[in-house]
Structure 1
Amino acid sequence: MTSLDQADALPLRPKLSFASADYEEKFCRYYHGFYYRYAQASLAVGMVLILGDYLVDWMAFNAPANLGRIQLCLPLLGIGIAYSFTDTARRHWQLVMSTFIVVVACSVFWVLSMIDREGGMGIKSWVGILNFTFLEFYCFVILGVQFRFALPAGIAILLMFEAAMQVELGKDFGAFCYWSYHVVTLFILAAGVGWWREFLVRKDFSTQTTLKTARDVLKNQNEHLEFEVEKRTREIRETQDATIVILASLVETRDNETGNHIRRTQHFVRALAVQLQSHSAFAHQLPGRQIDILFKSAPLHDIGKVGIPDSILLKPGRLDPAEFEIMKTHTTLGYDAIEKAERQLGITVDFLACAKEIALNHQEKWDGSGYPRGLAGDAIPLSARLMAVADVYDALTTRRVYKDAMSHDEAVTIILEGRGRHFDPDVADAFAAITDQFKDIAARYAD
């Protein structure tokens, strides 16, 4: 049975219980935990009321039997409070509390009977009815025990009061019937209020339990959805990374001498970007996510070389002017290839947009003498300005078929000499601050 079914399985019938035994046990544990301290407090309240009865009766009649409230009734409630702190009482507190209230009721009725015999107002007066009514409502409502414990205790209190009236009224059967009618009516009223109190408590419990179950189900569903979203996002990210590696590897198969060029330049770009994060002019352009995109996009900077003929791409020497013009087209070829892929996707992908930007502009120079568009200064995208330094450093420090590799220090000198002409001055300054990192990356990914 589901929690929703259990919540509705509480019919309006004398026996208050849920249809499911497990659910009923769960409710009893809840009830015990919630009402135990309340029941202890109600015994203390009973002591205060007994003391109040004694004082009022003493001021009105000063009947000697009234002292029984202090000598008998009050100690019984005190014993009940003390006993309620024991382990036995904690385990069986509802039975213990309902038993104590019956014992206290018996002592109260005995004291009231003694007061009647001394000429005071006891069982045969409104005081007796008032005490009976209080004890019944105390049993069914104030004490806080469940109805199945309160009912037998309430019946016991009723029978004791009836017995006490029978003794005091003697053979006056008419008076006994008159008082009994009102007493039984008050008992039924108290029992009805007690039953309804627990019914509402049970309804509230089942409602709260159902809501908690629904919240837990929603929480589990949300956690599952979050897991699935994270899983799908990770798969997409891994697919993107794999695609980049595949495309970048195509360039390597066309030009074996580049070796780990794409991996080195990828790390060079990230090192420069991280360094520039602390620069006020670049901080807003280089949040962590943008640096990740730069790192992911950098390997595609030379993707256009797949469209360059082998006779030019693999030529073991310097290119002539005509050949160099063809080589220049690798920037636009790379841009066009990525642009076409993006159009076919029908959506804008951040890393592809960045890859287009780098592929098209990484050969531009700060003074406007680069290609393919001759951009100058800040007109060159920052991503391309970063790649320009990374690409040139790697070209200088690695061997090509047409040249030997330069030393790290020589490459640093050449790049710093190009500050403000070939390279963005700020990017060149960032490079100067982390040349050791470039040297370590070059060693780590050496061909």
Structure 2
Amino acid sequence: MSVLDSPISWRAEERGTVDHAERSGALPLRPKLTFAGAEYELNFIRYYHAFYYRYAQASLVVGMVLIFGDFLVDHLAFQNASANTYRLQLCLPILGIGIAYSFTSTAKRHWQFVMCAFIAVVACSLFWVLLEIDSQGGMGLSSWVGILNFVFLEFYCFVILGVQFRYALPAGLIILLMFECALLLASGKDLSTLFYWSYHVVTAFILAAGIGWWREFLLRKDFSAQTALTAAKDFLKNQNGLLEIEVEKRTRKILDTQDVTIEILASLAETRDNETGNHIRRTQHYVRALARQLQFHPSFADYLVDHQIDTLFKYAPLHDIGKVGIPDSILLKPGKLDPDEFKIMQTHTTLGHNAIENAEKRLGTKIEFLACAKEIALFHHEKWDGSGYPNGLEGHAIPISARLMAVADVYDALTSSRVYKDAMPHDQAIAIVVEGRGRHFDPDIVDAFIQITDQFKDIAVRYAD
């Protein structure tokens, strides 16, 4: 378990632990070393337990190695000191029992108290061994060896063992008192020696305790900072999630508004034309079917990505929007148009393009999705051989969107009935489109059309007038 795995969440704790931590500077400088919030303190304990429990077990193993090392050194230096074997007979078994006991469920729940208790017992046994070594003329408690062992035990308790300061402090005091009692037994009536050594051991105790306190203080500060950082990240993540939802809602709303606007504009064109709304639906689907068929064609792959195909489908209904500017006498004429009337009818391409472009100018910005609508409106009557209108564009100079719409528009015009003509059979309409290959239409698009004529027929039936 790491600090980042702490079960603190920003929202769950914002009136609790995190709020307490913020008001108190996360860690008040108290001798007890506690957080202001009870839940915050509990989470620190969980973190501490998860990290230091195994650490403390390992430190007991280190203690066993060091005691065995002391035995070997003393045995080489003072082979006649039989008391030295007590280290193996007494101190090592105690630590071994401590390690074995630490794996029990009881010890796991109360491991810090258990570890401190074992170290205190080991200290007591070790001081007794040192007294016994002194009695046999070796270097025991009353020498620098005794002080060294005491200092090591204090630092072991406060630093190496890894228990919290509140557990280490009473254990360290017990070790200090036991050492003082052992010194009293070793020095006898020599009070000056007792006071001399007592001064130094108390100083060593204060130093070890101070380092132990500072160790936990830094650990708590780090935990506080990491937890606050995690809480902030969680908060930002939640905020980002809310923002993403809000952006998605706004985007959906904008897209819906665009769709409604297109429907309104397309419906407006319908009311003035003798064509039906289903003409718009059919040409939409024809264009999409052609685009999907050509999507992986080398000449079209870069343009006909999924997003662009969706755009073509969405804005194809605006191809004849310019017809709203054509007089009724021409637009609704049941017979064939004369040359002058046809010239006026041709202006519906520029009228539609200019209407969209003027709207962009009033907005003061170019709108990406309208570029496709402008292309279709202006160029869908251009022809591959350059004989179309309004600009007489030829071949690849005609935008792909307009080339696709040209095939869709002509096929639908041929297969739909009007007041001035009957609907043409599907096969006959196909033959006329194929005949226009390379003259009226892009050859590649006609080839794609030939492969999906069944789809065109299905669309015509599904959206029949």
For the criterion TM > 0.5, the same-fold answer is yes
Query: Is it true that 1:170 corresponds to 2:191 in the alignment?
Result: no
Match of 1:253 among 265, 271, 275: 271
Aligned equivalents of 1:329 and 1:7: distance in 2? 76
Counterparts in 2 of 1:6 and 1:74: CA distance versus 1, 3 Å: farther
Match of 1:13 among 26, 30, 38: 30
**2:66 equivalent in structure 1:** 49
**1:352 equivalent in structure 2:** 370
Q: CA deviation at 1:85?
A: 0.9
Q: CA deviation at 1:152?
A: 0.3
**1:40 equivalent in structure 2:** 57
Percent of aligned pairs sharing the same letter: 74
Query: Is it true that 1:368 corresponds to 2:386 in the alignment?
Result: yes
**1:291 equivalent in structure 2:** 309
Aligned equivalents of 2:282 and 2:242: distance in 1? 39
Q: CA deviation at 1:396?
A: 1.1
Aligned equivalents of 2:277 and 2:28: distance in 1? 79
1:235-261 residue CA offsets vs partner (Å, 9 max, x unmatched): 111111110011001122222532311
Match of 1:223 among 237, 241, 257: 241
Structure 2: gaps (5+ residues)? 1-15
Query: Is it true that 1:108 corresponds to 2:126 in the alignment?
Result: yes
One-letter amino acid of the counterpart of residue 285, structure 1: Y
Q: CA deviation at 1:6?
A: 5.7
Q: CA deviation at 1:9?
A: 3.9
Aligned equivalents of 2:394 and 2:358: distance in 1? 26
Q: How does 1:329-348 map to 2 (within 5 A)?
A: 329-348=347-366
Aligned equivalents of 2:129 and 2:251: distance in 1? 80
One-letter amino acid of the counterpart of residue 339, structure 1: E
Are the equivalent residues in 1 in contact too, given 2:27–2:224 (CA < 8 A)?
no
Q: SS state of the match for residue 370, structure 1?
A: coil
Deviating runs (4+, > 3 A) in structure 1?
A: 1-4
Q: CA deviation at 1:389?
A: 0.2
One-letter amino acid of the counterpart of residue 35, structure 1: Y
One-letter amino acid of the counterpart of residue 291, structure 1: I
Q: SS state of the match for residue 16, structure 1?
A: coil
* TM-score of the superposed pair, with normalisation by structure 2: 0.93
Q: CA deviation at 1:210?
A: 1.4
1:209-246 residue CA offsets vs partner (Å, 9 max, x unmatched): 11112222222222222222222222111111110011
Are the equivalent residues in 2 in contact too, given 1:293–1:350 (CA < 8 A)?
no
Query: Is it true that 1:83 corresponds to 2:97 in the alignment?
Result: no
Aligned equivalents of 1:239 and 1:120: distance in 2? 96
Q: SS state of the match for residue 263, structure 2?
A: helix
One-letter amino acid of the counterpart of residue 191, structure 2: F
1:141-193 residue CA offsets vs partner (Å, 9 max, x unmatched): 00000000000000000001111111121111111111111111111111011
Q: How does 1:47-446 map to 2 (within 5 A)?
A: 47-62=64-79, 63-446=81-464
1:19-65 residue CA offsets vs partner (Å, 9 max, x unmatched): 11111111111111111110010000001001101111111112111
Are the equivalent residues in 1 in contact too, given 2:282–2:459 (CA < 8 A)?
yes
Q: CA deviation at 1:315?
A: 2.0
Cα RMSD over matched residues? Answer: 1.4
**1:24 equivalent in structure 2:** 41
Aligned equivalents of 1:446 and 1:105: distance in 2? 98
One-letter amino acid of the counterpart of residue 121, structure 1: M
Aligned equivalents of 1:20 and 1:387: distance in 2? 69
Are the equivalent residues in 1 in contact too, given 2:274–2:418 (CA < 8 A)?
no
Aligned equivalents of 1:369 and 1:303: distance in 2? 22
Aligned equivalents of 1:440 and 1:100: distance in 2? 87
Aligned equivalents of 2:282 and 2:369: distance in 1? 18
Between 1:162-171 and 1:208-217, the stretch displaced more is 208-217
One-letter amino acid of the counterpart of residue 332, structure 1: T
**2:11 equivalent in structure 1:** none
Aligned equivalents of 1:368 and 1:335: distance in 2? 20
Aligned equivalents of 2:337 and 2:85: distance in 1? 123
Aligned equivalents of 1:260 and 1:182: distance in 2? 102
Are the equivalent residues in 2 in contact too, given 1:294–1:351 (CA < 8 A)?
no
Structure 1: gaps (5+ residues)? none
Are the equivalent residues in 1 in contact too, given 2:26–2:224 (CA < 8 A)?
no
Q: CA deviation at 1:11?
A: 3.0
One-letter amino acid of the counterpart of residue 355, structure 1: A
Q: SS state of the match for residue 384, structure 2?
A: coil
Counterparts in 2 of 1:314 and 1:240: CA distance versus 1, 3 Å: same
Aligned equivalents of 1:259 and 1:399: distance in 2? 13
Q: CA deviation at 1:411?
A: 1.2
Aligned equivalents of 2:25 and 2:51: distance in 1? 22
Q: SS state of the match for residue 301, structure 1?
A: helix
Are the equivalent residues in 1 in contact too, given 2:274–2:331 (CA < 8 A)?
no
Are the equivalent residues in 1 in contact too, given 2:24–2:36 (CA < 8 A)?
no
**2:3 equivalent in structure 1:** none
One-letter amino acid of the counterpart of residue 84, structure 2: N
Counterparts in 2 of 1:217 and 1:7: CA distance versus 1, 3 Å: farther
Q: SS state of the match for residue 104, structure 1?
A: helix
Aligned equivalents of 1:155 and 1:409: distance in 2? 104
